[in-house]
Copies of this chain bind each other. A is one copy, B any other.
Amino acid sequence: MMADDRVLLPLAAATRPLYAGVDLGGTNIKAALVDDAGSLLAFHTEPTHVSRGPEDAAARMGRSVHTLASLAGIATADIARVGLGSPGPLDIPNGTIVRAGNLPGWDDFPLRDRVAAHSGREVTFANDANAAGYGEFWVGSAKEASSLVLLTLGTGVGGGIIIGDVNVEGAHSHGSECGHILVDPAPTARMCPCGQPGHLEAYTSATSLKAMARERIAAGATGSLAAAVAGGEELTPILVAREAERGDALATDVLMEVARWLGIGIVTLMHAIDPETVLIGGAMTFGREANPVGRMFLERVKDEVHRRTFPVLAERTSIRYASLGGDAGSIGAAGLARLDHRRKHG
């Protein structure tokens, strides 16, 4: 058993059927075995080894499903279905990645079907951010909600929209691409890594937070963050949050600027979808509500939303941090497999 393998709910306490969820990342493959009530029975992680190519990874994802079964003491055939969350953009009906920036050379590889072949189980294929959204909706921060918008702030910005039991995957596999809603139509808007200006991701990712700080330092901003960077510390969201907690004006300003843009994007998503809950997840959550910077960031987001939305929504829409962290994708993928299984088998 690897150090990151975990065994949680005992098998005797599990509600059948059981589902496996696999979250494919650029660095790691995370796999979770989950029961029908959303409880975690086993967890397994191994490296993605992107450079070895997609067939090798598909084989390892298939083996992860067998490993989960061994960890829990069941046969793989006892797993009703597997969910696979993958970085997009995807072609969901075909089960392929169309063009994933951090998985070069994986385009058009029959990922879903090869994982099915290696695991011996049918596979539900989904965008990783949608899977994370479904995880939070099923058993995480939004489990009491009837609908959800999840924004995951990391290197990029992912989105998941869940309405009832509908995962908004889109007619062309591009649903819930909330990082790419337009928040600034000006030709001078910040450029998104996707190549278009003015997208939410261009203002609210870790990448853009770092770029904003760097630009202000280059323009002459001083203080403890600027001094730390000048002294050789790597400019990261964690460093910015640390210096904001110490009261540095530059660090605080760029965090509040990111929060302001996030609020603007959330207003548009609230007016289009009107979800019961909006969750903010991903690496860039600054210690969440437990940390003063996490609280300050969330308050600034809510303040921007409240001043721009309808009174009813300002009062009733819950905006808070996601709770499942890095497990949301694998648990949610298992949940999407469960939805498909129930649709097909009643």
Contact = CB atoms under 8 A, between A and B. Distances in A.
Contacts of A246: none
Interface stretch (A76-84, A175-183, A287-295, A329-337): A175-183
A39 to B, nearest CB: 26
Contact of A272 (B146, B272, B310): B272
Given A166-B163, A166-B166, A313-B172, A271 B185 contact: no
A312 B98 contact: yes
Nearest to A312: B172
B171 A147 contact: yes
Interface of A: 89, 98, 145-147, 159, 161, 163-164, 166, 168-178, 180-186, 194, 196, 261, 264, 267-276, 308, 310, 312-313, 316-317
Which of A164, A173, A184, A185 has the most CB atoms of chain B within a 10 A radius of its CB? A185
A322 to B, nearest CB: 18
Given A174-B270, A182-B268, 7 more contacts: A98-B312, A168-B273, A172-B312, A173-B312, A177-B272, A178-B272, A181-B268
A169 B275 CA distance: 10
A312 B274 contact: no
A279 B181 CA distance: 19
Contact of A275 (B159, B171, B184, B273): B171
B89 A310 contact: yes
Contacts of A313: 172, 174
Q: What number of copies of this chain does the assembly contain?
A: 2
A136 to B, nearest CB: 15
A168 B163 contact: yes
Contacts of A182: 183, 264, 267-268, 271, 308
Given A182-B267, A185-B184, A273 B175 contact: yes
21 contacts: A89-B310, A168-B273, A169-B274, A170-B273, A170-B274, A171-B275, A172-B276, A172-B316, A172-B317, A174-B271, A174-B313, A175-B273, A175-B274, A176-B272, A177-B271, A178-B271, A180-B271, A181-B268, A181-B271, A182-B267, A196-B308
A117 to B, nearest CB: 27
Contact of A183 (B98, B163, B185, B274): B185
A274 B172 contact: yes
Contacts of A177: 271-272, 274, 310
A166 B145 CA distance: 17
Contacts of A178: 271-272
A304 to B, nearest CB: 10
Contact of A310 (B159, B171, B194): B194
Nearest to A308: B196
Contact of A173 (B159, B163, B274): B274
Contacts of A317: 171-172
Contacts of A161: 272-273
Which of A159, A171, A261 has the most CB atoms of chain B within a 10 A radius of its CB? A171
Contacts of A163: 163, 166, 168
Contacts of A181: 268, 271-272
Which of A147, A173, A274 has the most CB atoms of chain B within a 10 A radius of its CB? A274
